[in-house]
Amino acid sequence: MYPFNIKRTDKTTHTVVPGPIMAKLAPWLARNGIEYEVIDLEDMPSGIPCTCVFNGRKMLASNVCIRSNLDSGELFSAAEAMLNIREEEI
C-alpha cells in the first residue's frame, strides 16, 4: 500500500490536480480517514490558478480542486507518485 505521510494543517488548503487522478486519490484518502471535498474550479477562492503542472506537463482541462486540511504540496506530490502505481497497490 502507498504510505500516507502528509502533514495535516490547521487551515483549509486547495490542491488542483487532473480529474482522472482522483480515481486513485479518492479511495486512498478515504482509507486513511481524510475528510476532503472536490469542488468545481469556478468555486475556488480567487488567486488560486486553475491549471497545474503534473508530471512535467501543464494541465489546463479536466482539473479538479481538492479542499482539505492537508499540506497542498505534499498532496500534489502524492498524486504525481500515484500516476505510476497500480490501483491495487494504493
pLDDT of residue 72: 94
Number of Cβ within a 10 Å radius of residue 59:
18
pLDDT of residue 7: 95
- Identify whether the C-beta of residue 78 lies closer than 8 Å to the C-beta of residue 6: yes
> Tens place of pLDDT for every residue, the chain, 90 residues?
788 899 999 999 999 998 888 888 999 999 999 999 999 877 878 887 777 788 787 877 788 899 999 999 999 999 988 888 888 888
- Identify whether the C-beta of residue 11 lies closer than 8 Å to the C-beta of residue 62: no
Question: What is the C-alpha end-to-end distance of the chain, expressed in Å?
Answer: 5
pTM: 0.85
- Identify whether the C-beta of residue 37 lies closer than 8 Å to the C-beta of residue 3: no
